[in-house]
Amino acid sequence: MPAYLHLTREGIKRTDLALELDPTEKGMLSYTLGQAMCQIVAEHLLTVRFFMHVSRYADTYGLTFAPGQSRADFFGPRYSGTWVVAEAKGRSGPLDHETRQAMEAQKRTVKTVSGKVPEISYACAVDFPSKGGAMRLTAIDPEENEPGAVDLPVDLDLFALAYYTPFLDAFAHRPPRLLGDYVVTGFESVGVTLGLLAPVLHRIERAVRLNDTSGLYGDVTRILDRYARESTTRFTDGTLFAADWNHRPDLLRRERPEPAAEQIRELHEVYRMVDVQEGPSREESMREEDWNWWRLPPATGGLPGIFPPVDVAE
């Protein structure tokens, strides 16, 4: 991403390297930006806690759509319990008049989710009005349904399981460690650390092992609400994602930049090491046969994207 994008006072702009990409590569960059910005709109403007691709749920639980049947890209519940459905678009150039008209005329492709009409169903497009200009985002909420709009028979407990399963997969293939209230694993080759609140992971793992998802969504949201009240999480779904994509000494031949004091203070607060006996995350009930994340080794040394690159327990 740093190779193709940079942040300016005017907004997010493309680098010279991005402007030199061929049409297929520009299309992939625009697609990625469209998907990412669609989720940012959902989380920060529409208060969606869990925003998941429709295919993630459909592929897991065998939902099929008629050939040629259109449907939105993403969906998720708001804190209020209502649903949001979204379709993401990306353009490497300006959003032309025809595309904007098509977005305004576009009908809702999802009629109901779990038997409820989505409160908001929007199309979101990212474009670059000029070659050197800042990225722009356009979101439109149509009011009418397509004649062939689909119903998504979603079970909230299964939704939660599908949402968090990739973290179980990650921890199964990389040795997990304990960092404050999080279970984390690092992917040094791509400069990324991935994590999940330990009590959430514990509850998801129990559902998988016992093959019983009853009450899973409610349990997870209660755990997250408690952490939200204590302001000890950065992302509303209890995940942790940290990336360090600026330091490649083998390529850039430069010294690692020192993190700002405020950045260190903030990250220490977010990823604080809590007392094993008194921390709020230890309130979750534990069964003898459960995966005991208390026994994980602490995350020491540098983790990709997390400053400072020293023993975090200190």
Q: What is the 3-state secondary structure (H, E, C) of 72-92?
A: CCEEEEECCCCEEEEEEEECC
**Dihedral, CA of residue 170, residue 205, residue 47 and residue 90, to nearest 10:** 30
Q: Which two tokens stand for residue 181?
A: 């209230």
Burial of 141 (0-12, 13-18, 19+ CB in 10 A): middle
Indicate the pLDDT class of residue 296, thresholds 50, 70 and 90: confident
Dihedral sign computed on CA atoms, order 169, 81, 46, 265? negative
Identify whether 304 is part of a domain: no
Q: What is the pTM of this model?
A: 0.79
pLDDT at residue 179 tops 60: yes
Residues 74 and 165 in one domain: no
Through-space distance between the first and last CA atoms of the chain, rounded to whole angstroms: 32
| Per-residue pLDDT band at 70 (split at 50, 70, 90) | low
- CA 25 remoteness from chain centre: 23
Long-range contacts of 52-55 (CB under 8 A, 24+ apart): 52/76, 52/159, 52/162, 52/163, 54/152
pLDDT reading at 9 higher than 80: yes
Q: Which of 136, 153, 170 is the last residue of a domain?
A: 153
> In the numeric block, which tokens belong to residue 255?
């010294």
Indicate if the alpha-carbon torsion angle 256, 258, 263, 269 is positive or negative.
Answer: positive
Single out the residue in 153, 177, 211 at which a domain terminates: 153
State the pLDDT confidence band at 264, using cuts at 50, 70 and 90: low
pLDDT score recorded for residue 267: 54
Shared domain check, 119 and 145 = yes
268 vs 294, more confident: 294
With respect to residue 40, please indicate whether it lies within any of the assigned structural domains.
Answer: yes
Q: Which domain holds residue 181?
A: 157-295
In a domain, 247, yes or no: yes
pLDDT of 145 strictly over 80 = no
Establish if 314 belongs to a structural domain: no
| 132 and 168 both lie in a single domain | no
Q: For position 286, what pLDDT does the model report?
A: 47
Closest listed residue to residue 110, CA positions, set 138, 81, 137, 141: 141
Residue 47: closest CA among 95, 119, 109, 115 = 119
Rounded to the nearest 5 degrees, what angle is found at the Cα of 154, between the Cα atoms of 183 and 198?
A: 10
Residues 55 and 100 grouped into a single domain: yes
Identify the pLDDT of residue 164: 95
Same domain, 142 and 13: yes
In a domain, 73, yes or no: yes
Q: Is the same domain home to 238 and 180?
A: yes
User: How many domains are there within the chain?
Assistant: 2
Q: Note the pLDDT of residue 280.
A: 42
> Based on the domain organization, do 167 and 123 belong to the same domain?
no
Q: Does residue 165 sit in the same domain as residue 279?
A: yes
pLDDT score of 109 more than 90: no
pLDDT of residue 242: 85
> What does residue 236 show for φ and ψ, rounded to 5 degrees?
-70, -20
Strand partners, 241: 194
- Which candidate, 117, 89, 91, places its Cα nearest to that of 103? 89
| pLDDT tens per residue, range 82-103 | 999 998 888 888 888 887 777 7
Examine residue 164 and state whether it is found in any structural domain, yes or no: yes
Tell me what pLDDT residue 276 has.
35
Instruction: Give the max Cα distance, the chain.
Output: 62
Which of 168-177, 181-190, 230-239 is the least confident region?
A: 230-239
Residue 309 counted as domain residue: no
Residue 250 — pLDDT band, cuts 50, 70, 90? very low
- Per-residue model confidence (pLDDT) at position 68: 62
Specify the higher pLDDT residue, 140 or 284.
140
The reply to whether 141 and 258 lie within a common domain is no
